[in-house]
Amino acid sequence: MRHVEVAQACPATRISAVVEPSEVRRAALAALGLNAVATLDAVPTETRAAIVATPTQDHHVSALACLDRGWPVIVEKPTAATLDQAREVVLRAAQKGVPLFTGHHRRCHPFSRATRDALTQLGDLVGVQGLWSLRKHDTYYDADWRRQPGAGPLLTNLTHEIDLLCFFLGEIDEVTALSSNSRRGLAIEDTAALAFRFGDGALGSFLISDAGASPWSFEAASAENPAIAASHQDYIRFVGTAGALEFPSLTFWGRSGPGEIEWSKPLIATPGPHFDKVDPVLKQIGHFAAVVAGGDNDLLCSGEDGMKALEITLAAALSAKEHRPVRAGEVPGDYTGV
């Protein structure tokens, strides 16, 4: 429904149909004034593009069906349930010559693009440290599927962070992960600690938990999600040979004087610029509409980039399971993370 909302709000888009197999749900959508249909075959011929916002298991089949109709597609993250499925979707888009994107909408915040530019001030990147910890309410786990393997923060929340890190810093070559379920005692993990090696040799670490209460997360920092309390606290820090950067405030720590930057000389903090708050999902569909109209875009997450984020997310799950580092290219094509 978030995609329906922004498609109605975006002046460059109009909803031709919402495909919904449930008769009861179709009736509810029709009551909202939407053209709710049961299958893709019932979609009006004037349709020019599609957004796949179905359960993950369906991403592969629905994305292929849309691409085969010649429609540019945004498929919600992850691109598919497995790497083999994601590769097939990416290949089909290339064969059809049709744009394909993965719905990693965080890229569409103005501070995300600005961060990628600001990182050039840091000299050679040494490393990055991130902390995402939001305590989900106890009743969140009343639903049985949320207690089943695959529903923990590794596969549910980490993929957003992986895509952002790759958007900022380039490809991740290797990941090592530890996981724990000791705080909630469920079959799924509630906390994971990860170490990354990037392609240029920089290193990274990330702690992710849905059991620990903290003000540090993307959602709390950005106030993006009205259901999650805002803190406006930075949750990622980048360190380079010439300074450091906090995200998403873009506070820059740099030299205080001439000569070598070293530990006896204080660093000076420069606050980041002000950014107007935007709806990143609305921005995403606006960029998508521009591409459908024939334009170019280097901000949206391509299908290939979405597949890479899926690969490293699955690599983290595999590393935690097998207690070993996992390199890109080592994840089995049919592995689902559970």
134 contacts: CB under 8 Å, gap ≥ 6: 209, 210, 213, 214, 217, 219, 220, 228
Domains of the chain (ranges; CATH) run 2-106+283-308 (3.40.50.720), 110-276 (3.30.360.10)
Answer positive or negative: Cα dihedral of 96, 59, 222, 235: negative
Q: What is the pLDDT of residue 187?
A: 85
| C-alpha to C-alpha distances, 265 to 125, 208, 241, 262, 268, nearest whole angstrom | 20, 33, 14, 6, 10
| C-alpha to C-alpha distances, 40 to 89, 112, 233, nearest whole angstrom | 17, 35, 43
The reported pTM is 0.93
The distance of Cα 85 from the centroid of its chain, to the nearest Å, equals 18
Do residues 90 and 307 make contact, with C-beta atoms less than 8 angstroms apart?
Answer: yes
Q: What is the pLDDT of residue 4?
A: 96
- Mean pLDDT per 10-residue segment, the chain (338 residues): 96 97 96 96 96 93 97 96 96 97 96 95 97 94 84 89 96 97 90 96 97 96 91 98 98 95 96 94 97 93 97 96 96 93
The distance of Cα 187 from the centroid of its chain, to the nearest Å, equals 25
Beta carbons within 10 angstroms of residue 129's beta carbon: 14
Answer positive or negative: Cα dihedral of 201, 121, 214, 1: negative
Beta carbons within 10 angstroms of residue 235's beta carbon: 24
Q: What is the pLDDT of residue 338?
A: 84
Q: What is the pLDDT of residue 151?
A: 81
Smallest Cα–Cα separation from 40: which of 30, 56, 57, 54? 54
Q: What is the pLDDT of residue 301?
A: 97
Which contacts (CB < 8 Å, 24+ apart) does range 289-298 have? 289/10, 289/12, 289/13, 289/49, 290/12, 291/72, 291/99, 291/101, 292/48, 292/49, 292/72, 292/99, 293/12
